[in-house]
């Protein structure tokens, strides 16, 4: 990776990945793109282009203009929004991915795109979900993710594009909020803990899903992209997880630092159904063996850091 084009660079992963890549590879070598510009650090700290990922011609033009050797395609609709707008989700998620793969093929670039725990379905083994297993998702998002993994493999086999991907769990961060996901509760709970000392969860108690703190997710992306290609058997996409939690487990962790924190429930049947169709916990052995995946943050370490960073963020806002 020397010159990197990122789509969806102002989203939850992109906002932080863009800044981390700029630190490592140089500001001018990381070209952030998104459907709209805003005033965030990722948008204003280096090269930025407005790019709608459904416009494949423009994507190739931007890639050629900056002579990129890597395409990181992050722009996508998440699970809950995709369930509300399935046709739009298909067009954006699959159309955007196809354009990004074609761009990588055209400019001979290495390629990364995230898959998700959403690629699994209710017939997948729920605990210690293996790398290679039954994948029959029942959501539009999941259908997109499985098709996307297969498409990325196809581009590797057919055209030799160096495609790589991770099946991300819910990602937790204090920088940019996710939007329209099923695991978003695990981010909101920290914001509400800091602001109001209480949270009403739309996911029910006892519903376990995998999660990971954003710094570990960024490491995983960069480590996978820098891994020796010959060692990769799976490519698209590797199971990765740092913890398996339900709302009660996160609340118990928060209570260690905010003793009066209160958790209540108002379950959203749509997101609950999606969550129940996903695994409880992934097995990350293939990622560990093939490219040395590791994580630093367990639940308590993440909670401590989230609460510290969010408190700073809101104190700064109040005093500023
Ligand atoms: C979502 O909830 O849709 C995402 C995911 C797990 O892919 N955070």
What six digits make up the tokens of 62? 């931007």
| Whether the CB of 144 sits within 6 Å of ligand 1 | no
Residue 317 has pLDDT above 70, yes or no: no
Q: What is the atom index within ligand 1 of the atom nearest the CA of 145?
A: 7
With the most atoms of ligand 1 within 8 angstroms of its CB, the residue from 139, 180, 183, 187 to mutate is: 183
pLDDT of residue 320: 42
Q: What is the atom index within ligand 1 of the atom nearest the CA of 80?
A: 3
Residue 318 has pLDDT above 50, yes or no: no
pLDDT in tens, 27-49: 999 999 999 999 999 999 999 99
Closest to 75 (Cα-Cα) out of 148, 151, 150, 184: 148
**For residues 137 and 144, what is the distance between their CA atoms, to the nearest angstrom?**
9
| CB contact at 8 A, 316 and 174 | no
pLDDT band at 177 (very low <50, low <70, confident <90, very high): confident
Q: What is the atom index within ligand 1 of the atom nearest the CA of 209?
A: 6
To the nearest whole percent, how much of the chain has pLDDT over 90?
A: 96
- Give CA angle at 228 (226, 231), nearest 5°: 135
| Whether the CB of 142 sits within 6 Å of ligand 1 | no
Does residue 314 or residue 292 have the better pLDDT?
292
Average pLDDT of the chain, as a whole number: 96
Alpha carbon of 154 to ligand 1 centroid (Å): 24
pLDDT in tens, 257-268: 999 999 999 999
**For residues 82 and 16, what is the distance between their CA atoms, to the nearest angstrom?**
23
Alpha carbon of 320 to ligand 1 centroid (Å): 33
């Amino acid at each position: 990776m020397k010159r990197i084009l990122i789509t969806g660079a102002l989203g939850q992963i992109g906002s932080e990945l863009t800044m981390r890549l700029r630190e490592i590879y140089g500001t001018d070598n990381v070209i952030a793109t998104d459907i709209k510009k805003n005033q965030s650090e990722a948008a204003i700290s280096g090269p930025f282009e407005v790019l709608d990922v459904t416009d494949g011609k423009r994507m190739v033009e931007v890639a050629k203009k900056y002579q990129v050797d890597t395409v990181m395609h992050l722009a996508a609709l998440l699970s809950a929004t995709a369930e509300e707008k399935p046709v739009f989700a298909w067009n954006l998620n699959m159309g955007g991915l196809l354009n990004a793969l074609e761009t990588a093929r055209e400019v001979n670039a290495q390629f990364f795109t995230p898959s998700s725990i959403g690629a699994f379905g209710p017939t997948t083994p729920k605990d210690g979900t293996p790398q290679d297993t039954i994948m029959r998702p029942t959501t539009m998002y999941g259908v997109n993710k499985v098709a996307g993994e297969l498409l990325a493999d196809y581009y590797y086999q057919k055209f030799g594009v160096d495609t790589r991907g991770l099946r991300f769990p819910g990602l937790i961060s204090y920088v940019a909020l996710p939007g329209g996901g099923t695991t978003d509760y695990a981010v909101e709970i920290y914001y509400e803990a800091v602001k109001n000392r209480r949270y009403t969860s739309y996911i029910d108690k006892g519903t376990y899903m995998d999660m990971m703190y954003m710094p570990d997710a960024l490491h995983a992306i960069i480590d996978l992209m820098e891994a020796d290609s010959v060692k990769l058997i799976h490519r698209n996409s590797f199971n990765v997880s740092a913890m398996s939690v339900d709302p009660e487990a996160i609340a118990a962790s928060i209570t260690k630092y905010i003793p009066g924190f209160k958790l209540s429930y108002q379950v959203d049947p749509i997101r609950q159904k999606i969550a129940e169709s996903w695994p409880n916990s992934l097995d990350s052995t293939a990622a560990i063996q093939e490219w040395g995946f590791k994580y630093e943050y367990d639940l308590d370490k993440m909670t401590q850091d989230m609460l510290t960073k969010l408190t700073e963020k809101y104190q700064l806002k109040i005093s500023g």
